[in-house]
Structure 1
Amino acid sequence: MDSKWMPWLAVAAVLAAVTVVIAIRLVVKLVRARRLLGDSGIPFSSKAMFWASIAYLIWPVDLLPDPVYLDDIGFLMLALRSLHKAASRAGADRREL
């Protein structure tokens, strides 16, 4: 391997590791937010987006190849924001958020 590619390979590895860590943190936040799914005041669309984001994360077909988790992270962030916004509109207990 040519030595001029080593720094770029290291940068790519670090970026891949950072995106994986961010994706894992977002999944943990989504799993913690699952308590909100039982709240009857939250619309079905927000609850469906929660499950769709989890399915998209494990689905083998992505918009971008799997080493790049930007599309997964974006979809997870959108689902989390939607769920929390719907919960605050419904007056859910802040401790659950």
Structure 2
Amino acid sequence: MDATEWFWWSVVAIAVVATVVVAVRLTIKLVRARRLLGASNIPMSNKVMFWAAIAYLVSPVDLLPDPVLLDDIGFLLLALRSLHKAAVRVGAVGPGRPEA
């Protein structure tokens, strides 16, 4: 293997490891967010966005090919951020309450 080939394999390996790390952190956030889905004071639109992002994650149709999970991760992060902001707005999460 020459130096150029070794370099590109290293870049790919680093990208794969980074994607796996982000996916694991995102999975932890998803597990913590499930508590917010049961809160009655959070708007249904935020809950629907969350479930739509989950459906997009498992869907075989993607904007980017499946080995590249950037679009899936982006949609999930957007949905989690929206759900968390709604929870803070209605007081389900905040000072004195556990984070989601």
Could you state the TM-score of these two structures normalised by the residue count of structure 1? 0.87
Cα distance in 1, alignment partners of residues 64 and 19 from structure 2: 13
Q: Deviation string for 1:70-90 (max 9, x for gaps)?
A: 111111110110000000111
C-alpha separation in 2, matches of 1:24 and 1:55: 18
Task: Give the counterpart letter for 2:17 in structure 1.
Answer: A
1:54 partner amino acid: I
1:58 counterpart residue number: 58
Higher RCO (CA < 8 A, seq sep 6+): 1
Q: CA deviation at 1:14?
A: 1.5
- State the alpha-carbon separation in 2 of the partners of residues 81 and 92 from structure 1: 14
Unaligned runs of 5+ in 1: none
Q: What residue in structure 1 maps to residue 45 of structure 2? A: 45
Determine the C-alpha separation between the residues in 1 that align with 2:70 and 2:87: 26
| Displacement over 3 Å in runs of 4+ | none
1:29-70 per-position Cα deviation (integer Å, ceiling 9, x unaligned): 012111111111101111011111111111111111111111
Is the Cα contact below 8 Å between 1:50 and 1:80 reproduced in 2?
yes
Residue 98 of structure 2 is matched in structure 1 by 95
Paired position in structure 1 for 2:84: 84
Question: How far apart, CA to CA, are the structure 2 residues paired with 1:53 and 1:23?
Answer: 14
Could you state the TM-score of these two structures normalised by the residue count of structure 2? 0.85
**AA partner of residue 95 (structure 1):** P
Q: Considering only aligned residues, what root-mean-square deviation do their CA atoms show, in Å?
A: 1.5
Corresponding pairs, count: 96
What amino acid maps onto 2:35 in structure 1? Answer: R
